[in-house]
Chain A
């Protein structure tokens, strides 16, 4: 479970996130929908304990992001959009194992887990090859495996499909669905309505750092008496933002 209470983040005068509160239930996918610069990444970075909130608090899997930062990081996996962020000179196995080690897993445990993940993602044939020599699709699978090496209860996805080609987008969406099937609690940030509609149980719309609306798709449609999420979004965000 993820519980966020009145969390804010200021960078000097810029209010990147403004008093957001929300709750994501176990096994649920929550979609964080917002334009560029709305504060999605900042919110997720605070949840991942990379940034300290200016005010407010949050708990992930029962751990406080300030008091139990290390335990929070031990229970989350993160996937970012764009580049996979693998070390080119390490083999796929070494890339994945490095994150396992840093998450305090023991060597036999890491080996066992890599075996399972390798089978699941079909990586057996290139597990020992250097990441720099792989195709985009292969790298992506390694990045998936790396993000769940420690089998976290919670997954955070920050615009995971931005800048990807269609088949890679498919791959990411499959991966998110699999995570849900495994019972993980998920936040997915996105600026794509269709992606959020397709994957998420509930949606929050974030604009200029504030959460302006949230609920299930049905709830939003009823409340705003509109069938189209995009229309609702434009209405709430005002449509006059840059981008």
Chain B
């Protein structure tokens, strides 16, 4: 192996890729914009939906119940503390629900007034449309309003009997969150960030890996190259490092996008879901560990990608193999998405891909266990060697390299 030759190849391949607009778009521009765009599109619509459901509740009374008296009761006694609920007047209440002009329709018992005065229960029927997310979401709010009206009446009746209201509530519950803000943020991040990193590391190398071997074979540029003084192993390592470099560039581009999105709108990391992520700091040693593990995972993917690209009979075939590889890598990512860092069994820290996922989770939730991280790092290095060996053995096989 010849360091100078490796460097020459790396420089040339990087230059070649950078000049390819298609690769630059798929491995840098798209990843960088992906998260901010998703946030704007998905996050924006989720939070709009949330807002609409909770802050913009429209209610109407059924035709039979639409009397001055009931309107007064509803507006002044049931909804009076719920400024987010508006009572509308509609002609056809069924149509109004179907057309979404109101979310919920209330129908009162005919003799509700007598029952209320006599202290007997009466019924308010709530009509809603289960097929409409907003109607369903608003139902609970109307329900809450009626519940609080219930409590008010109960309190009045208890007091009228000369009893203490506390009689009705022997136990009171209070909850405390022992995780600080950082830990809460970390656990949100630990759900999707490891998966994202694995996807990016496996996706970022696809275009270069396909181009650098299968593409080079298909365009007849590989054979002339092999007649120069460069040894086959130097050529392989040069190409391998280029692929690794571009997987990492893809991750860095995406993370830059995530960070920029986070600074513009801190809610962006959760896509508008009801959770807050405040800033948090990872200990430098753990951060370094995460970076090293990312690099080794990138190197492992690069090795396998080069091997598959060498094995493939054509450019197209290489693309297919590498897409499958990416999907295969996503499976453990999704499978462990909801796994808690402190519940990950130790053997997962030595399995391929799972080791990196588990290590990322530990680091992001500050559940750092040094033995586990060292296991993850060592096993990652072993996988790098295996992947590189695989690539080298493909590259050495005459029947495969010179297959026509």
Interface residues of A (CB under 8 A from B): 11, 45, 48, 50-52, 70, 73-74, 76-78, 80, 82-90, 94, 98-99, 101-104, 146-147
Q: Given A45-B402, A51-B398, A89-B20, do A102 and B230 touch, yes or no (CB 8 Å)?
A: yes
Q: Whole-angstrom distance between the alpha carbons of A83 and B226 in the complex? A: 16
Contact partner of A146 among B4, B15, B224, CB < 8 A? Answer: B224
**Which of B215-223, B307-315, B374-382 lies at the interface with chain A?**
B215-223
What is the chain A residue whose CB lies nearest that of B222?
Answer: A85
A85-B223, A103-B229, A104-B229 given. 17 additional CB < 8 A pairs? A45-B402, A50-B226, A50-B398, A70-B229, A73-B228, A77-B227, A78-B223, A83-B220, A85-B221, A85-B224, A87-B16, A87-B221, A88-B219, A94-B15, A101-B8, A102-B228, A103-B228
B227 A48 Cβ-Cβ under 8 A? yes
Chain B residue numbers with a CB within 8 Å of A76 are 227
Interface majority SS on B: helix, strand, loop or mixed?
helix
Which B residues are in CB contact (< 8 Å) with A98? 8, 12
User: Does B219 lie within 8 Å of A74, measured CB to CB?
Assistant: no
Q: Which residues of A contact B219 (CB under 8 A)?
A: 83, 85, 88
Instruction: Indicate if B130 sits at the interface (CB-CB under 8 A).
Output: no
Q: Which of B220, B225, B402 contacts A102 (CB 8 A)?
A: B225
Q: Are A73 and B220 in contact (CB under 8 A)?
A: no
Are B402 and A89 within 8 A (Cβ)? no
Q: How far is the CB of A197 from chain B (nearest CB, A)?
A: 27
Give 19 pairs: A residue, B residue, CB < 8 Å, sorted on A.
Answer: A11-B399, A50-B226, A73-B229, A80-B220, A80-B224, A83-B220, A85-B221, A87-B12, A89-B19, A94-B15, A98-B12, A99-B225, A102-B225, A102-B228, A102-B230, A103-B228, A104-B229, A146-B224, A147-B224
Q: Which residues of A contact B9 (CB under 8 A)?
A: 102
Q: How far is the CB of B22 from chain A (nearest CB, A)?
A: 11
**What is the size category of the interface that chain B forms with chain A?**
20 to 34
* 7 nearest CB pairs, A to B: A102-B228, A85-B220, A89-B19, A83-B220, A85-B221, A78-B227, A102-B230
Instruction: State in angstroms the CA–CA spacing of A103 and B227 once bound together.
Output: 9
Contact: A50 with B229, CB < 8 Å? no
* B71 contacts partner chain A, Cβ-Cβ < 8 Å: no
For chain B residues 196-235, which have a beta carbon within 8 Å of chain A?
A: 219-221, 223-231
Chain A CB within 8 A of B183 CB: no
Closest to A69 in B: B231
Distance, CA A73 to CA B235, complexed state (A): 14
Given A89-B19, A98-B8, A102-B5, also A70-B231 (CB < 8 A)? yes
Q: How far is the CA of A94 from the CA of B402 in the complex (A)?
A: 25
Please give, as numbers and ranges, the residues of chain B lying within 8 Å of A11 by CB-CB distance: 398-399
A74 touches B399 (CB 8 A): no
A99 contact set on B, CB distance < 8 A: 224-225, 228
In the complex, per-residue mask of B11-55: 1 if CB is within 8 Å of any chain A CB, else 0: 010011001100000000000000000000000000000000000
Chain A min CB distance to B233 (Å): 12
Residues of B within 8 Å of A48, CB to CB, are 226-227
B224 contacts A74, C-beta separation under 8 Å? no
Cα A94 to Cα B399 in complex, Å, equals: 31
Kindly list chain A residues whose C-beta atoms are within 8 Å of the C-beta of B399: 11
> Smallest distance from the beta carbon of B227 to chain A beta carbons, Å?
4
Q: Of residues 214 to 268 in B, which have CB atoms within 8 Å of A's CB atoms?
A: 219-221, 223-231
In whole angstroms, how far apart are the Cα atoms of A85 and B220 in the complex? 5
A189 CB to closest chain B CB, in angstroms? Answer: 14
Q: Which residues of B contact A50 (CB under 8 A)?
A: 223, 226-227, 398, 402
Docked pose: A82 CA to B4 CA in angstroms: 31
CA distance in complex: A67, B221 (Å) = 26
CB distance from A241 to the nearest CB of B (A): 19
**Chain B positions within 8 Å of A52 at CB level:** 398
In the complex, chain A residues whose CB is within 8 Å of the CB of B5: 102
In the complex with contacts A90-B16, A99-B228, A104-B229, A82-B220 CB distance below 8 A: yes
State in angstroms the CA–CA spacing of A176 and B226 once bound together: 21
Residues of B within 8 A of A78 (CB): 223-224, 227
Known: A52-B398, A80-B220. A90 touches B12 (CB 8 A): yes
Report the separation of the CA atoms of residues A159 and B397 in the bound assembly, to the nearest whole angstrom.
Answer: 24
Chain A residues near B223 (CB-CB < 8 A): 50, 78, 80, 85
Query: For residue A103, which residues in chain B have a CB less than 8 angstroms away from its CB?
Result: 228-229
Q: B225 — which chain A residues lie within 8 A by C-beta? A: 99, 102
Q: Known contacts A85-B223, A99-B228: does B8 contact A90 (CB below 8 Å)?
A: no
State A102–B226 Cα separation when bound (angstroms): 10
Closest to A156 in B: B227
- Chain B residue nearest to A48 (CB atoms) is B227
State A243–B362 Cα separation when bound (angstroms): 65
Interface mask (B315-359 → A, CB under 8 Å = 1, otherwise 0) = 000000000000000000000000000000000000000000000
* Least CB distance, B218 to chain A, in whole angstroms: 10
Please report the C-alpha to C-alpha distance between residue A11 and residue B399 in the assembled complex, in whole angstroms. Answer: 8
Which residues on A sit within 8 Å (CB–CB) of B8?
98, 101-102
For residue A84, which residues in chain B have a CB less than 8 angstroms away from its CB?
A: 220
Q: In angstroms, how far is the closest chain A Cβ from the Cβ of B403? A: 11
Distance, CA A11 to CA B9, complexed state (A): 30
A13 → chain B, closest Cβ, in Å?
12
Question: Which residue from chain A places its CB closest to the CB of B12 in the assembled complex?
Answer: A98
Q: Point out the residues of chain B lying under 8 angstroms from A94, CB to CB.
A: 12, 15
Q: Which residues of A contact B229 (CB under 8 A)?
A: 70, 73-74, 102-104
Give Cα A55 to B5, complex, Å. 30
Specify which chain B residues have a CB less than 8 angstroms from the CB of A85 in the assembled complex: 219-221, 223-224
CB neighbours (8 Å) of B20 from chain A are 89
| In the bound complex, CA of A8 to CA of B219 (Å) | 29
Within the assembled complex, what's the spacing in Å between the Cα atoms of A94 and B14? 13
Q: How far is the CB of A141 from chain B (nearest CB, A)?
A: 15
Most buried by B among A45, A51, A101: A101
